[in-house]
């Protein structure tokens, strides 16, 4: 497949108003609403060339169907990385991850995926091939269309090529798993704002048994990823241990070999679904209010007799909250009411995973954003026939 | 009529109409435009909204203005209209140190934010050399960079949400954490052509525990740029990596006595901020590369004072050029970092061909070049040579796979140069965005887009 062939296909679909569903690795299919119409499926998986690998410039240009694992393996040869931190990296594509606006746990340290995008080639609904940006790391020449496509859920254009800047990968990584005894959770999490060496990621986890490493204590568990040079890891380890000691957390299990894999299992668990028996919400809170908000969500789930598996990203304040039931009928009977009740408390909760048949009845995107009329006009300018992923995105965009 | 309505809405004190006042706002740091019809100095979002509605009724375009330090005519009223200065909207509206963010008005001076947050060991990272006078709103308009954006990223990486007054005078918020299109990204770097930013939530960073600044000298610009390429190719991205050639260092020393050697062909100013534990290893590695590439000296700034002096010299470099020539023109292009030696070599040749003195003082680590071309504007032949050599530098950057503006923006100056890097279709795609937010072309007209770019007609939805 070539970019030109995508342009031809889209041009033809635009003429007869055929709806095009864009697919990458299908790893984030639990996000968004089901399409309103679906006439043609456009898979980007054949668009998988590394167009230009420029390690001396710390840049790389890839087609959108390149898998995240393929990219990271290539970059590792140069000692660099682009920390997308998206689930199921072996399947996920660069284009899909960006289009979905994925936000991972290490962004507080390295920046968001969008911050690494320096250029793009996109195909518009009418078949227009549009370049933006380039292969330089600083560029103020017109509107930043590349970033506009990021997070647009494929409703403005099909991302065909993405140019990225890369950064040096940290030389070493270490993972900590801590069981939290009674009365330690809040104190333990409060430590992270003050550590001199900021961890790359720090999670509070409850549930997700078997899927991620570590065991719950009376108040769940924590997993902490440290990255850096050997000297930094040593110091950060000392600091973390004494901070946890102050919080009354005694046990620490350290994983060096396999630390990154352990981290990736947690990221995978963000969207791990129990098929028709679960729905996972993502709530963007702050590090200083995520715990009380999480407790409120949990209390609500208990009222509905739903099981919960929880990941709190303590550095960014993200809450990943999975509710489930052992029985899919029982789950189906209460999920709609739970969804309403949850959005009363957390109007901006977004669904990121779960394959329940009545998904379209749930408040999948949460409260619509401000400036919606302008977003609708933007959609009309880029895709007047509404053929790209129709109905999938927020508020009908 | 226009004046009367503006005065009724904002008060006489916030509306300037006297010719001598208007003349002061016809300029920016690049050029002079037409005399505006009026200058307004709103105090809040409501005022801005009122101005937009009045301007719309009267058919007047609006040219937003921060400090007017832009170098490509971005704040100049090319076809007249109302100049809207944000000078009075310069407050910090909200400050949340625990969440490392602040909400500021667009007229706040960049450096004032870092000064206000220093007590909590926080700072606002984008640091254009103009940061002691330029405003955060102006920085947002041009997606401003600065020496430290090498590792911290440009302004777009530090803006979380924007309050916008649109072309109807209505207010909406953008927010990078909400689902929907990333209008924040669309507005940052749009040079005031899409709407008016009236408040911005920005990200603050923790001050690093350790900062080291090194100075390496080289026999010539080529070896210094070769060292820069080698440092980047080794995967080392310092917090800042700046280069000055001999013309620049001599001017800076004459002006500031900052501590730069005046006998070197070129110097690299290198800063790394981070953890104390890594500093020695870091220094060894960079110093090794510098020596391999021909550095004749290497020293570390021993004190905070010494570091500050070196940085003050670097940030004041453009101003110091006044010592060697009555006028200077600063070009801003960005090339791939591996092509720096070739780019510098070409710039030297261009200067020689045109018998011009050029000083190079730039963000080497980003590949972002700022040749300063010295001239005397009373000499018409020299002026012509400056314009021609500026164009040759643009062509050189494009030929090397670079771009026509790294951080100053397109403004009025470089609008025609856009065709050198973008196709008609690329530009028409950008024009679709303009069409959404500013169909009347009332916000900062005659900027960014080359003459004649149109977006395709979109048929009404049946």
Q: Between B145, B182, B410, which is nearest A147 by CB? A: B182
Q: What is the mean pLDDT of residues B338-356?
A: 96
At B219 the pLDDT is: 97
Q: How many CB atoms lie within 10 A of CB B157?
A: 18
Q: Between B275, B363, B429, which is nearest A130 by CB? A: B429
Is the predicted pLDDT of residue B446 greater than 80, yes or no?
A: yes
Interchain CB contact of B355 with A (< 8 Å): no
Residue by residue, DSSP assigns B333-361 as EE--GGGHHHHHHHHHHHHHHTT-EEEEE
Phi, psi of B271 (to 5 degrees): -125, 140
Interchain CB contact of A375 with B (< 8 Å): yes
Q: Between A129, A141, A377, which is nearest B404 by CB? A: A141
| Of the candidates A137, A27, A187, the residue with the CA atom closest to the CA atom of residue A93 | A27
Is the predicted pLDDT of residue B459 greater than 70, yes or no?
A: no
User: pLDDT of B123-166, one tens digit each?
Assistant: 999 999 999 999 999 999 999 999 999 999 999 999 999 999 99
At A166 the pLDDT is: 97
User: pLDDT of B40-64, one tens digit each?
Assistant: 999 999 999 999 999 999 999 999 9
At B29 the pLDDT is: 82
Q: Between B153, B336, B363, which is nearest A57 by CB? A: B336
Q: How far is A10 from chain B (nearest CA, A)?
A: 16
CB contact under 8 A, B410 and A141: yes
Pair A280, A338: CB distance under 8 Å: no
Q: How far is A287 from chain B (nearest CA, A)?
A: 8
User: pLDDT of B262-306, one tens digit each?
Assistant: 999 999 999 999 999 999 999 999 999 999 999 999 999 989 999
Pair B110, B134: CB distance under 8 Å: yes
Looking at chain A, how many residues does it have? Answer: 397
At B319 the pLDDT is: 86
At A355 the pLDDT is: 85
Size of interface A-B (CB pairs under 8 A): 223
CB contact under 8 A, B430 and A145: yes
At A193 the pLDDT is: 86
CB contact under 8 A, B277 and A57: no
At B462 the pLDDT is: 40
- pTM for this model (two decimals): 0.97
At B28 the pLDDT is: 86
Per-residue pLDDT of chain A (397 residues; tens, 9 = 90+): 899 999 999 999 999 999 999 999 999 999 999 999 999 999 999 999 999 999 999 999 999 999 999 999 999 999 999 999 999 999 999 999 999 999 999 999 999 999 999 999 999 999 999 999 999 999 999 999 999 999 999 999 999 999 999 999 999 999 999 999 999 999 999 999 889 999 999 999 999 998 999 999 999 999 999 999 999 999 999 999 999 999 999 878 899 999 999 999 999 999 999 989 999 999 999 999 999 999 999 999 999 999 999 999 999 999 999 999 999 999 999 999 999 999 999 999 999 999 888 888 999 999 999 999 999 999 999 999 999 999 999 999 9
What does the alpha-carbon distance between residue B199 and residue B93 come to, in Å, rounded to a whole number?
8
Q: Between A231, A284, A382, which is nearest B278 by CB? A: A231
3-state DSSP assignment of residue A291? helix
Interchain CB contact of A228 with B (< 8 Å): yes
CB contact under 8 A, A143 and B405: no
Q: How far is B379 from chain A (nearest CA, A)?
A: 31
Contacts of A148 in chain B (CB under 8 A): 181-182, 185-186, 433
Q: Which residues pair with B215 in a beta bridge?
A: B269, B299
Q: Between B175, B423, B433, which is nearest A131 by CB? A: B423
Q: Which residues pair with A53 in a beta bridge?
A: A60
- Among B429, B431, B440, most A C-beta atoms within 10 A, so best to mutate, is B429
Contacts of B181 in chain A (CB under 8 A): 148, 151-152, 156, 375, 378-379, 397
- Among B149, B180, B242, most A C-beta atoms within 10 A, so best to mutate, is B180
At B326 the pLDDT is: 92
- Among A137, A282, A377, most B C-beta atoms within 10 A, so best to mutate, is A137
Nearest 10 degrees: CA dihedral of B221, B222, B224, B229? 140
What does the alpha-carbon distance between residue A325 and residue A52 come to, in Å, rounded to a whole number?
48
At B461 the pLDDT is: 46
CB contact under 8 A, A142 and B179: no
Pair A227, A173: CB distance under 8 Å: yes
- Report which secondary-structure segment, H or E, holds B123: strand B122-123
What does the alpha-carbon distance between residue B48 and residue B84 come to, in Å, rounded to a whole number?
8
Interchain CB contact of A76 with B (< 8 Å): no
What does the alpha-carbon distance between residue B58 and residue B81 come to, in Å, rounded to a whole number?
10
Interchain CB contact of B422 with A (< 8 Å): yes
Q: How far is CA A297 from the centre of its chain?
A: 21
Is the predicted pLDDT of residue B80 greater than 80, yes or no?
A: yes
Between the CA of residue B157 and those of A316, B154, B201, B306, what are the distances in Å?
15, 6, 12, 30
Lookup result for tokens 């999670």:
A203
Average pLDDT, chain B: 95
Crossing angle of the two packed helices B2-10 and B45-58, in degrees rounded to 10: 170
């Amino acid at each position: 497949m070539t970019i030109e062939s995508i342009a031809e296909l889209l041009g033809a679909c635009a003429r007869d108003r055929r709806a095009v569903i864009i697919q990458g690795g299908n790893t984030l299919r639990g996000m968004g609403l089901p399409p309103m119409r679906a006439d043609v499926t456009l898979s980007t998986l054949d668009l998988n060339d590394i167009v230009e690998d420029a390690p001396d410039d710390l840049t790389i240009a890839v087609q959108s169907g390149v898998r995240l694992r393929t990219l990271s393996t290539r970059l590792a040869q140069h000692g660099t990385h682009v920390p997308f931190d998206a689930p199921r990296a072996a399947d996920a594509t660069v284009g899909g991850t960006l289009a979905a606006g994925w936000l991972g746990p290490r962004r507080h340290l390295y920046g968001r995926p969008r911050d690494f995008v320096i250029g793009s080639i996109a195909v518009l609904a009418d078949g227009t091939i549009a370049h933006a940006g380039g292969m330089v790391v600083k560029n103020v020449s017109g509107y930043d269309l590349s970033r506009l496509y990021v997070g647009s859920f494929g409703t403005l254009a099909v991302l065909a090529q993405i140019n990225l800047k890369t950064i040096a990968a940290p030389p070493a990584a270490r993972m900590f798993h801590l069981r939290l005894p009674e009365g330690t959770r809040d104190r333990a999490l409060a430590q992270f704002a003050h550590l001199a060496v900021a961890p790359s990621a720090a999670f509070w986890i409850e549930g997700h048994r078997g899927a991620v490493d570590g065991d719950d204590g009376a108040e769940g568990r924590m997993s902490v990823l440290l990255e850096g040079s050997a000297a930094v890891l040593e110091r950060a380890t000392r600091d973390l241990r004494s901070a946890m000691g102050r919080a009354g957390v005694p046990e620490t299990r350290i994983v060096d070999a396999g630390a990154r894999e352990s981290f990736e299992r947690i990221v995978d668990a963000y969207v791990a679904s129990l098929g028709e028996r679960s729905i996972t919400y993502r709530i963007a809170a702050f590090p200083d209010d995520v715990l009380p908000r999480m407790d409120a969500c949990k209390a609500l789930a208990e009222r509905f007799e739903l099981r919960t598996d929880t990941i709190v990203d303590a550095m960014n304040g993200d809450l990943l909250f999975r509710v489930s039931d052992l029985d899919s009928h029982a789950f189906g009977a209460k999920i709609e009411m739970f969804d309403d009740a949850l959005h009363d408390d957390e109007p901006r909760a977004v669904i990121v995973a779960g394959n329940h048949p009545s998904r379209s009845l749930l408040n999948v995107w949460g409260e619509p954003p401000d400036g919606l009329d302008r977003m609708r006009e933007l959609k009309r300018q880029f895709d007047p026939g509404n053929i790209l992923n129709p109905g999938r995105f927020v508020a009908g965009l | 009529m226009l004046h009367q309505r503006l005065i009724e809405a904002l008060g006489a004190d916030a509306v300037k109409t006297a010719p001598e006042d208007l003349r002061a706002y016809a300029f920016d740091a690049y050029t002079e435009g037409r005399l505006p019809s009026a200058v307004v100095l709103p105090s809040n979002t409501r005022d801005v909204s009122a101005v937009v509605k009045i301007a719309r009724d009267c058919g007047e375009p609006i040219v937003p203005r921060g400090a007017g330090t832009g170098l490509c005519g971005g704040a100049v009223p090319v076809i007249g209209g109302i100049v809207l200065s944000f000078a009075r909207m310069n407050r910090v509206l909200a400050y949340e140190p625990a969440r490392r963010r602040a909400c500021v008005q667009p007229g706040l001076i960049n450096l004032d934010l870092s000064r206000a947050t220093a007590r909590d060991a926080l700072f606002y990272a984008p640091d254009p050399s103009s940061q002691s006078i330029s405003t955060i709103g102006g920085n947002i308009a041009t997606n401003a960079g600065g020496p430290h954006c090498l590792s911290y990223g440009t302004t777009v990486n530090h803006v979380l949400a924007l309050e916008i007054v649109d072309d109807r005078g209505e207010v909406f918020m953008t927010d990078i954490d909400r689902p929907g299109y990333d209008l924040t990204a669309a507005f940052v770097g749009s040079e005031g052509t899409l709407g008016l930013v009236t408040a911005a939530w920005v990200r603050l960073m923790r001050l690093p525990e350790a900062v080291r600044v090194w100075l390496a000298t080289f026999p010539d610009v080529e070896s210094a740029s070769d060292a820069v390429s080698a440092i980047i190719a080794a995967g080392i991205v310092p917090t800042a990596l700046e280069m000055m050639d001999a013309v620049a260092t001599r001017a800076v020393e004459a002006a500031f006595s900052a501590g730069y050697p005046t006998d070197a062909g070129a110097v690299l100013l290198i800063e790394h901020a981070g953890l104390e534990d890594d500093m020695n290893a870091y220094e060894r590695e960079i110093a090794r590369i510098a020596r391999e590439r021909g550095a004749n000296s290497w020293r570390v700034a021993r004190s905070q004072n010494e570091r500050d002096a070196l940085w003050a010299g670097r940030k004041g470099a453009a101003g110091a050029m006044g010592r060697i020539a009555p006028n200077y023109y600063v070009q801003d292009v960005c090339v791939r970092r591996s092509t720096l030696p070739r780019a510098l070599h070409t710039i030297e040749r261009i200067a020689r061909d045109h018998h011009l003195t050029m000083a190079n003082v730039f963000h080497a680590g980003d590949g972002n070049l700022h040749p300063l071309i010295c001239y005397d504007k009373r000499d018409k032949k020299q002026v012509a040579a400056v314009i021609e050599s500026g164009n040759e530098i643009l062509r050189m950057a494009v030929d090397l796979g670079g771009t026509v503006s790294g951080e100053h923006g397109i403004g009025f100056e470089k609008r025609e140069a856009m065709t050198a890097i973008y196709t008609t279709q690329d530009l028409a795609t950008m024009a679709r965005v303009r069409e959404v937010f500013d169909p009347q072309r009332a916000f900062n007209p005659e900027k960014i887009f080359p003459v004649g770019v149109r977006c395709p007609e979109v048929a009404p939805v049946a």
